[in-house]
Structure 1
């Protein structure tokens, strides 16, 4: 079912932001949005629970904290509209426009923030009985993460810190703290980030191992590797304004369970955490802005081989899920506030129930973003050279990350109206992007594998 959408305006009153959304059906018959149209999978979630207010220019997200479902479950006819009034925490007074993330619909940019006199709707009425839960109003900082395809390094960045993780297998000789011939290339990611903050700050370097040897051996090895990275970084870049601490955690803090060779490899690593004294110095390459938080310098620079069918974004590809052929495509992404927003589209002639594994990240990547990834669309990565740009994320609690992407859709309905999977990414700085779903497994089920190329980037 298709709908015409009018988003906005938004109004700040009594410490909250009230947003008007109006939906009108593109249909000859009366229809309803449904009781769970923008809902999450959380128990007790209402029809609008999944709507999020974004200020991408300031890298912040405001979750829905209250509001009226309005006519979400009421049937409306063509020419009529269903109004919803979700409520969020108050955006700053000088905010001119915001973005709205609508699960299963898309991201709406340029929503005006106006005074109550210009609202055009009953603000007091929208607040009446809204019962907002302001304890979780945020705002939450939006972060970004990149992953080099060969696993040599990854980078995670938010408003206060940057974490560069380098692979122990690539950086060191086996079971040794001796730096390999590839070490400098891998450490280039950390060097690049350090140079962004000339005023310095805190630099915490921590070694980690797998669980193959005994605890004492692993603890010693992790400490030695941290010191080796610290010593080499001091030779590669000026650290005179940084307070450097090198420690080891042994096998005590694995990224992922030590239950396979691939997982043990992911756990053998050194993490370099930058906490700059003046984070604003890095704003020229901010969380979402180009250049992105990690450059392809750490890896080979060559795009990895696709794990599934390849087509242009416009033409799309056909994949088969449980014997049902599904057409998948992506028309464009839009540059907004230093980020990219877009929608993966699916269409099928037969109604399809998606497997729970369809949109998971490969297991060895999941340590990059620990958090609430189950039942969320996590694997829509943008691929530039050998670097995967994961969906932007927000942290609702310490080390609990949520992707700025769709919640899991159980069913793709048949017909010509596509099912939409919106997402937000850090800006790759390109005129066209490549979307890559790299595959993976969960509970012996495969994640989707496909690649869409030449997706145009348009200015929002």
Structure 2
């Protein structure tokens, strides 16, 4: 069971009942029509005309149970302060089923269908499936396993956006992101019970309908500076190996540039107190590391004070020694990550930080590089081809549709696409995420690495925060020989960009590759 943990302005979990109305955070604007770039069939005349709840507004082809299954999406139907999504699956083999992992991800503690989400990219919000008093999804086939019939219909409840919003995007795992599903008034489509496992959902059982803000993360490829932005705080991490020589507390000649970069990130925010904390690895005694971490924090504070207005940004320092490692101290690489100085600014109002794009993208030392159109072929336990012929601009966000095709002869193999994400979350070892997600595919702009958007979902039973990315939460869906699966990945607003470069890895579970010169279609396109 997840326990709600409030971050200032970060989490909105709505408790409701069938007889009580509730008010959502106000939204404005209308999502752009879906361009349908991949495996998509959309009829503009249908979308623009007066719709009925049974009309098809988009289709996607998703590999399921060895077949290319067509998913038909119906309009979102308002039901008081909820909306109901209806998806029909056509061509599922008679003995096949829609798995929990496809729609949830390899992560316990979150309900089925958590990977199937509605998004408002104008206001950077994600709507996750509504839950009942038992923390179960309010949906058809509530256990997330539908099948044993050719035409299952899945229906799910979500919170409704403000009345001024007439469409939302739909994230369907395995298919290209649908950026506009109209919201209409009318009767909820009738269920289609396909087999004995069918369980109709009851919207009167909804007690929670989460609406969560999307957040962003960027880092420097050299590992010197990382910036975590949210509605609550900005945290900048400086690698101690860049700032200091071994066992030293005097800034190196390269450290000034790193501190200047950190100051630029912090000054883009509203005024507030900056806390500077030094951290070390586990080499040497606890007392030695504690004193070293304190001296290093003070050295960074003295340099930062030269580049920032202390009247608006008061500075406090502390040292944690080896007491709060970011990752376990079990390798030289991890110890390098733990040797760091963090600068945390808390302010009341969030402002967007421009992504640094200066400098050339460094060469990928280990791995394959090709254009997005050409793609790369990687032979591991299976042979997969990765391509990204184009990206899309949707409400200012860049969305990359990564195509993964099985080019071997395997049918129903026990091996699949294991991961497109690293073992450890960039938010540290005190957080959890979906480790077999596609979150490890990042955009490179100059020397800056941009992670997919993500959102704080809640706490697990141990109190550990769960952060989920705006991409597939599970990459292990079955892909047979010749089949293609789409992994849509949603990135922050990057301004007016014409092309992007993406990179996966290197890291645990990732065969490193880079795809360059991916054209970005504008909102107008």
Residues 1:357 and 1:187: Cα distance change in structure 2 (over 3 Å): farther
1:361 corresponds to: 422
Residues 1:303 and 1:154: Cα distance change in structure 2 (over 3 Å): same
1:56, 1:339 within 8 Å by CA — same for their partners in 2? Answer: yes
Aligned-pair distance for 1:393?
1.2
In 2, Cα distance between equivalents of 1:346 and 1:353? 17
Number of residue equivalences = 432
2:34 corresponds to: none
1:176 corresponds to: 248
Residues 1:364 and 1:405: Cα distance change in structure 2 (over 3 Å): closer
1:334, 1:341 within 8 Å by CA — same for their partners in 2? Answer: yes
Q: Superposed, which structure 2 residues align to 1:133-282 within 5 Å?
A: 134-135=207-208, 137-197=209-269, 199-279=270-350, 282=351
Q: Deviations over 1:288-343 (max 9, x none)?
A: xxx33xx145xx64423252121111111111012x43222112221123322232
In 1, Cα distance between equivalents of 2:106 and 2:504? 23
Aligned-pair distance for 1:209?
1.0
Residue 222 of structure 2 aligns to a residue in which SS?
Answer: coil
Residues 1:46 and 1:392: Cα distance change in structure 2 (over 3 Å): closer
Higher helix share: 1
2:466 corresponds to: 400
In 1, Cα distance between equivalents of 2:296 and 2:114? 46
2:505 corresponds to: 438
- Matching of residue 381 in structure 1 with residue 455 in structure 2: no
Residue 274 of structure 2 aligns to a residue in which SS?
Answer: strand
2:219, 2:449 within 8 Å by CA — same for their partners in 1? Answer: yes
1:307 corresponds to: 366
Q: Superposed, which structure 2 residues align to 1:57-96 within 5 Å?
A: 57-65=122-130, 66-69=138-141, 72-73=146-147, 75-76=149-150, 82-96=152-166
Q: Deviations over 1:366-405 (max 9, x none)?
A: 7399322423233111112222211211111364322222
Aligned-pair distance for 1:231?
2.0
State the TM-score, normalizing by the size of structure 1: 0.83
- What 5-or-longer segments of structure 1 have no aligned partner? 286-290
Q: Deviations over 1:412-443 (max 9, x none)?
A: 433433022222222344211111112223xx
Q: Superposed, which structure 2 residues align to 1:10-159 within 5 Å?
A: 10-25=76-91, 34-36=98-100, 38-42=103-107, 48-65=113-130, 66-69=138-141, 72-73=146-147, 75-76=149-150, 82-114=152-184, 116-117=185-186, 121=189, 129-130=202-203, 132=205, 134-135=207-208, 137-159=209-231
State the TM-score, normalizing by the size of structure 2: 0.74
Residues 1:8 and 1:355: Cα distance change in structure 2 (over 3 Å): closer
- Matching of residue 427 in structure 1 with residue 493 in structure 2: yes
2:389 pairs with one of 313, 322, 331: 331
Residue 266 of structure 1 aligns to a residue in which SS?
Answer: helix
In 2, Cα distance between equivalents of 1:45 and 1:273? 30
1:383, 1:389 within 8 Å by CA — same for their partners in 2? Answer: yes
Q: Deviations over 1:232-281 (max 9, x none)?
A: 112112232123322221111110111111111111111112222332xx
In 2, Cα distance between equivalents of 1:313 and 1:72? 35
In 2, Cα distance between equivalents of 1:386 and 1:353? 38
C-alpha RMSD of the superposition? 3.2
2:68, 2:483 within 8 Å by CA — same for their partners in 1? Answer: yes
1:288 corresponds to: none
In 2, Cα distance between equivalents of 1:221 and 1:139? 43
1:306, 1:450 within 8 Å by CA — same for their partners in 2? Answer: no
2:62 corresponds to: none
2:233, 2:346 within 8 Å by CA — same for their partners in 1? Answer: yes
1:416 pairs with one of 475, 482, 501: 482
Residues 1:148 and 1:362: Cα distance change in structure 2 (over 3 Å): farther
In 2, Cα distance between equivalents of 1:12 and 1:454? 41
Higher strand share: 1
In 1, Cα distance between equivalents of 2:204 and 2:380? 42
Residues 1:32 and 1:47: Cα distance change in structure 2 (over 3 Å): farther
Residue 325 of structure 2 aligns to a residue in which SS?
Answer: coil
Aligned-pair distance for 1:130?
4.4
Residue 303 of structure 1 aligns to a residue in which SS?
Answer: coil
Residue 106 of structure 1 aligns to a residue in which SS?
Answer: coil
1:35, 1:46 within 8 Å by CA — same for their partners in 2? Answer: no
